[in-house]
Structure 1
Amino acid sequence: MNRISVRSDVSIALSVWRALFLRESSARLAGARAAWIWILLEPATHIIFLMVVFGVVRHQVRQDANMEMFILVGVWGFFLVRNVAQRGMEAINANQALFSYRQVQPVDTVLVRATVEAFIYVIVGTVLLAALALLDIEVPPADPLLVLWSGFLLWAFGLGLGLMFSVMGTLMPGLGKLIRIVFTPLYFLSAVMYSVSSLPLGMREVVLVNPITHGLEAMRSGWFAAYHGEAHVSLGYLAFCALGTVFLGLAMHVRYATRLSAQ
C-alpha cells in the first residue's frame, strides 16, 4: 500500500528558500564576468578615496579612532543597508517567472536576496579587514558583540526597507529610480565619513533622525574602546525602526500578495 508523503509548510518554505538562495547567489556572483571583483571594488574605492581626502588633503587625524577603520566601518555599514534595500526592491520583478509555482511567494524572493546580500557583505568586510591588517593597521574590535549587534540591526533595517520598496516599486513602476536617488543624499546624512559629535548642534539633531547614523556610530563605539561619539546615539531607536519597517513591509506583502504575483 502506497503512502502519500505530506510535507509541512515549514519544510516547503525551507526548500524554497534554499533553492532561491542558490539561484540568487549564482546570479549575484556569476551573472557577469568577474562580478565578485566589482562587489569588492565598490566599497574599496570609496574607502581609498575617503582615506585620501581625510588623511592627505585635510590631514585629519582622530585621537580616539583609527581613521582607516573609522572610514571602513562607515562605508561598509551604509552599503550594507543600501544594497539590501535596493536589491530587495528589485527582487519581485527579477523573479516574476517563479511565481507560477504556488510554493514561491514574492516575499520569499526579498527575504532570500537580503540574506544573500548579508553573506556577501560579511565576506567583503572580511577581505577589507584582511587588507588593512596586511598594511599593519590594527583591526580587531574592542567589543565584538556590540559590533555584531549593530551590524545585524543595520541589516534588519535594510531588509525592512527592501520589503516596503519591493511592493511600492512593483505596483508603481518608475519609483525605483527616485528611491535610488534618495540614497545619494542619505550617504552624506548617515555619518559615513564623520563623527556626529563633530557637527553643530542643529545639524546633529537632523542627522540623528536617520536610523543608519545610530548603527554606524554604535558600531564605531564597539570597534574603538576610546571612541567618543554622540551621547544620544541609541541602538534601541535603530531596533525600533528596523522592527517597524519589517512589520510594515510584511503587512504590505500580505495585503498586495495577489497583485504582486500577477504583475
Structure 2
Amino acid sequence: MSPKERGFILDSAPSSGEITAPRSSLSVTFAVWNALFLREAVARLSATRGAWVLIVLEPVLHAGLMLLLYTVVRARSVAGADVAVWLVLGLTSYLTVQNVFQRAMGAVDANKSLFAYRQVRPIDTVIVRACLEAVLGLLILVVLLGILAFLGHFVIPESPMEAMLSFIGLMLGALGVGLILSVLGDLVPEAGNLMMFLFRPLYFLSGAIFPLSAIPVQYREWAFYNPFAHGLELLRSSFFPVYHAAPEANFKYLYWFAVVSIFFGLALQVRFARSLRAK
C-alpha cells in the first residue's frame, strides 16, 4: 500500500507510553467512513486530468441531446412540465442512481489493500462509495438547475419535502442494489456482469427520457415494477403542480424496495464478509 493511501486510514494503536481512552465501535466506524470518503473523493475527482469536468459533462450532454430532439419536434412542455427542467431532473437523477450501484459494485475489489486494517470492512467501502456518488449527483443537479434558473426557467419545487423524499428514496434503492451487486460481482464476476447487462434497459424503463404516463394503461403497470420509475415520477411531480404524472407512482413501493434491498444486501455482506476480505 502506498504512503498516500496509508495517510487516509488512521491506525488506532496508541504509541509507546501513550494512554488513550477506548473509542466506541460507532466512533471508529464514523472515523473509517470519513477517511474512506476523503480517499474516494480525491480518487474520483483526480483520477484523470479534468475528471471533475467529465462528471458534470455527462448529464449535460445527455440532457442537451434530448432537449435538441424535443426542440426538433417543437415540444416546449412534457405532460405539462417545462421540458428542460423535466429532462434535467430525470436524466441527472437516473445517472446518479446508475453511478451509485455501478461504482458500489466495484468498491470491494478496488479497496482490497485497505482490508489489512481490521477497522475497515468491505461494507464500509460500498456505503462510502454510494454516499459519494449521491452527494456528487445532488451537487450536479443543483448546479444544472441553477443554470436553468439563470436562463429564465422556474426551478423551485412546488413540494420541497416530496422532492427531498423522492431523491432520498432513489439513492436508498440504488444503495440496496449496490450492496447486492458488490457481493455478486466480487464472488461471481460473471453474475455481476450479467446483472449490469440486465440493468441497461432501465434507462428507458425508468422514464428518464419520456413520460411514463404516455404508455398505454394495460402495459404501464409492467413499467412500474421498476422502483426507480416511481422515484423519477415522484421527483418530477414535486416540481410541477400541473404535471400529469402516472397515477401508479407512489412512495410506499419505492421505500419498500429500498428497505428490502438494503436488508438483503446487508445480509449478503455479513454472510460473505470473510470471503470478500480473503479473495
1:116 pairs with 2:136: no
Match of 1:102 in 2: 118
* Cα deviation code 1:199-244 (max 9, x no counterpart): 1112211111110010011111100011121112111100000000
Q: Deviations over 1:57-80 (max 9, x none)?
A: 364633621011111111122112
Preserved CA contact (<8 Å) 1:157 1:242 = yes
1:215 is aligned with what amino acid? G
Distance change (3 Å), C-alpha of 1:96 and 1:202: same
Q: Report the alpha carbon displacement of residue 4 of structure 1 after superposing the two structures with TM.
A: 4.9
Percent identity, aligned pairs only, is 41
- Map 1:39-54 onto structure 2 (within 5 A): 39-54=55-70
Considering only aligned residues, what root-mean-square deviation do their CA atoms show, in Å?
Answer: 1.5
Aligned pair partner of 2:167 in 151, 163, 182: 151
Contact 1:106 1:261 in 2 (8 A): yes
What amino acid does structure 2 have at the position aligned with 1:99?
Answer: F
User: Structure 1 residue 123: deviation in Å?
Assistant: 1.2
- By how many angstroms is 1:174 displaced? 3.2
* TM-score, normalisation: structure 1: 0.96
What is the correspondence of 1:1-263 to structure 2 with a 5 Å cutoff?
3-57=19-73, 59=75, 61-62=77-78, 64-263=80-279
Q: Please list every run of 5 or more consecutive structure 2 residues that lacks an aligned counterpart in the other structure.
A: 1-16
Q: Which moved more, 1:106-115 or 1:170-179?
A: 170-179
Write the deviation string for residues 116-160 of structure 1: whole angstroms up to 9, x where unpaired.
111111111111112212221111111111001000000000000
Deviates more, 1:111-120 or 1:192-201: 192-201
Structure 2 residue identity aligned to 1:117: E
Per-residue CA deviation, residues 157-190 of structure 1 (Å, 9 max, x unaligned), is 0000000000000000233333332232111100
Deviating more after overlay: 58-67 vs 246-255: 58-67
Counterparts of 1:44 and 1:71 in 2: how far apart (Å)? Answer: 10
Q: Which amino acid aligns with 1:170?
A: D
**Matches of 1:86 and 1:147, distance apart in 2:** 24
Quote the Cα distance in structure 2 between the aligned partners of 1:194 and 1:226: 17
Q: 1:7 Cα deviation (Å)?
A: 1.4
Q: Give distance in 2, aligned partners of 1:58 and 1:179.
A: 37
CA contact (8 A) 1:80 1:154 kept: no
Between 139-148 and 150-159, the greater mean CA deviation after superposition: 139-148
